[in-house]
Structure 1
Amino acid sequence: MGRVVGTELIEDARQRGRVVFELLPGDIVTEMARETAARIGIRLVDGPLEKPAALRTDGNAALRRALYRRGARWVAPAATTRAKARRFSKIALVGAGGVGGAVAHLAAMADMADEIALIDIAPGLAAATALDLNHASGITGVRARCTGGEDLSRVAGAEVIVVTAGRARAPGMTRADLIGVNTRVIQSAAEVIRTAAPQAVVIVVTNPLDEMTVEMLRATGFAREQVLGMAGTLDSSRFRNALAHAAGVFPADVQAITLGSHGEEMAPITSLARIKGRRLERFLTRDQIAGCVSDAVTGGGQVVALKKRGSATIAPAHASIEVMDHLRGARVGAVPVSVMLDGEYGIHGVVLGVPAHLGAGGLIEVEELRLSDEERAALHRAAEAIRGRLAP
């Protein structure tokens, strides 16, 4: 049976330094894989390609080599090692509640940094979480040392700052209802970040996420490359989960991305979504696809309604880790994040969730996907809605 060649195989080929990808009889290549290969300069070549003949060694020569390797003078060659993802010197978390604490735990377990600093205005919360994580290191063996406190000056020297501080949603609230109170939180954090960590990449998680990313950009004065919003990563995960559940497959079998705003104007991109490399319509009806779209848009609200107090913590933490993995080179390819657009998709001067390539300094470039007219229109509606909510 042939393989389903998706973007992950193309990205793996690039990471291995290949410029040719061999397609074997029966292979199915997704449209997204072809677009990715064309963009990064990998040629898709029909195979099987003729392989060089294996070197043949006579028995006497093989015996001499075997005996030599057993001798005292033979030294084993150094094992080849693959390039490792970069470790951060320091990660700072502004907010040590449910999301911040989970991000700290996941970052420590992934050996992402030498130091993880937690900051929270609640007396003792950040210090207690840091101490708890350090106590666990005797079991986990992680190298990162965690510190905690209430003073925002702890962000000094951080390469990445994840901002989760702010009021969480209550049942019946929309993310937009939090603009007033959480804008003040973002502005307070930004004042310190601007002076104490001017080179840091800031990942905003506080809701309403797109609007708070705009506020962080305004208050810090940072370039757009340095300020990212964690949104599309989480929304795309919810969309993939919904599609997998509806189709009766594993989430790993699903490729799907969600763009637009982290709210009612969210735009799950159904035209490019694939299940086992095939279009959604091969597995799902139109009503089922529409239900999955709705599930992605309302996913956060579903968690809020069940918890009564507070919002989702685990999935947003994993999404934040995914963004940091792209920053440090542990993952390759485009990832959906909220960034300030400068003409991409025909949109200027507003933060919106789009696929982006990230590196050590933050944003490298926005990738413009081939969207349907309806999906492109949805992005423009989301941009106007965000502008409207931020208008004085």
Structure 2
Amino acid sequence: MMKRKKITVVGAGNVGATCAHWAAARELGDVVLVDVVEGVPQGKALDLMQAAPIYRYDSIITGTNNYEDTADSDVAIITAGIARKPGMSRDDLLNINYKIVVSCAENIARYSPNCTIIVVSNPLDVMVYAAYKATGFPANRVFGQAGVLDSARFRTFLALELGVSFEDVSAMVLGGHGDTMVPVLSHSFAGGIPITQLIPAERLAEIVKRTAHGGAEIVSFLKTGSAYYAPSAACVQMAEAVLKDKKRIMPVACYLNGEYGAKDLYTGVPALIGGNGVEKIYELDLTAEEKAALDNSIQAVRDLMKVVGL
């Protein structure tokens, strides 16, 4: 009998629960929602299960406070950690979320030693590295959601500006998942037409700035929370690429070992994502300005790593 894929989502907050929602709706496999708070993952899982007859998916969704229930997962998505509050930078979250992510990663590795881990917790680039170190997994099986979300935001703003289909806009965002991210205009297109030919430089600069502060803009509206629909959709797109061995090219936070002039850190670069996780990293020809911005972003990641002694 064929065994269904198993997806563990760590953290039953807005991002985690919405990850479970998207994954079940796409029938990627059975989903286990795990959280330290008693009752929350169980309640959300039961609620999602009761939508199955309506939305016609057959994924079994369970909620638990026990990592034993996550055993033999194919993919684990770590969303645990506290969310950003207004006025709080991603960096303020660092020390709190570092301890949380290390604990989650160790527990996942104990029960699912062969799984692939996708990290969403902020500050993202440091948290992926923390999970990589805590698990001892090969680097290709631990990566983070960076440019998939950032490029989705960039593509949204570009499509709205041009009045064209979201499907026809492709864009690349590199670097740290934060204010130093690098939207790469030289590799961004609408229907194959370079975006720089369609939108004036000054307007493009405004869109780039809005993209870099995309998360903060949502936090400022919500007041008591942060974005979760698009972040969770981005995670599930990444998980699907692994589970179905889709060989998607997407910008994710990968471990660099000399690529883009950086070593022993994680940051957002275009990669081939398939059944073995990060199967290849692509080095783009960047303009001098883009390369300088990426170097700056990489340095910002290094500075954060020092804060937690990595």
TM-score normalised by the chain length of structure 1 = 0.76
CA contact (8 A) 1:88 1:328 kept: no
Structure 1, 356-365 or 298-307: larger mean CA deviation: 356-365
The answer to which structure, 1 or 2, has the higher relative contact order (CA under 8 A, 6+ apart) is 2
CA distance in 2, matches of 1:269, 1:87: 41
- Are the aligned partners of 1:120 and 1:149 in contact in 2 as well (CA < 8 Å)? yes
| Equivalent runs, 1:358-373 vs 2, <5 Å | 358-373=273-288
| 1:245-289 deviations in Å (ceiling 9; x for gaps) | 222222222111101010011000001111232222322111110
- Deviating above 6 A after TM superposition, structure 1's stretches of 4 or more consecutive aligned residues are none
In 1, Cα distance between equivalents of 2:152 and 2:245: 18
Q: Tell me the alpha carbon deviations over residues 323-372 of structure 1, each in whole angstroms, 9 at most, x when there is no partner.
A: 01211337443111101101112211110000111121211110112211
Matches of 1:234 and 1:260 in 2, distance apart?
Answer: 12
- Structure 1: give runs of 5+ residues left out of the alignment: 1-85
1:199 equivalent in alignment to 2:114: yes
3-state SS of the aligned residue for 1:233? helix
**Aligned residue among 11, 28, 38 for 1:112:** 28
Q: Per-residue displacement from partner, 1:229-253 (whole Å, max 9, x unpaired)? A: 0111000000111111222222222
Please name the residue that 1:238 is paired with. Answer: 153
Tell me by how many angstroms 1:378 deviates.
1.7
3-state DSSP of counterpart to 1:96 = coil
* Residue in structure 2 matched with residue 145 of structure 1 by the alignment: 60
TM-superposed CA distance for 1:154, in Å, is 2.4
Q: Which residue does 1:162 correspond to in 2?
A: 77
Q: 1:257 to 1:303 in 2, by over 3 A?
A: same
Letter in 1 for 2:295: H
Contact 1:267 1:378 in 2 (8 A): yes
Cα gap change, 1:216/1:330 in structure 2, threshold over 3 Å: closer, same or farther? closer
| 2:12 aligned residue | 96
Kept after mapping to 2: 8 A contact 1:338/1:351: yes
Deviations 1:5-58 (A, max 9, x none): xxxxxxxxxxxxxxxxxxxxxxxxxxxxxxxxxxxxxxxxxxxxxxxxxxxxxx
**What whole-Å deviation, never above 9, does each CA across 1:45-81 have from its counterpart, x for those lacking one?**
xxxxxxxxxxxxxxxxxxxxxxxxxxxxxxxxxxxxx
Q: Are 1:124 and 2:39 matched, yes or no?
A: yes
8 Å contact kept, 2:245–2:273: no
Matched position secondary structure for 2:117: strand
Larger Rg: 1
Number of residue pairs matched?
A: 306
Question: Which residue of 1 is the match for residue 292 of structure 2?
Answer: 377
Question: Between the two proteins, what is the percent identity of the paired residues?
Answer: 37
Which residue of 228, 247, 254 maps to 1:313?
228
Q: Give 1:96's aligned amino acid.
A: A
**What's the secondary structure of 2:51's corresponding residue?**
helix
Q: CA RMSD in A?
A: 1.5
- Report the AA paired with residue 113 of structure 2: P
For 1:274 and 1:125, locate their aligned partners in 2 and report how far apart those are by CA, in whole Å: 42
Question: Is 368-377 or 175-184 further displaced after alignment?
Answer: 368-377
Q: Distance in 1 between matches of 2:303 and 2:145?
A: 21
Partner Cα distance (1:131, 1:383) in 2? 42
- 1:347 partnered with 2:282: no
Q: Is the 8 A contact 2:248 2:274 kept in 1?
A: no
> What is the CA deviation profile of residues 95-114 of structure 1, one whole-angstrom value per residue up to 9, with x for unaligned ones?
0111111111111111101x
Deviates more, 1:294-303 or 1:328-337: 328-337
Q: State the alpha-carbon separation in 2 of the partners of residues 108 and 331 from structure 1.
A: 18
SS of the aligned residue for 1:167 comes to coil
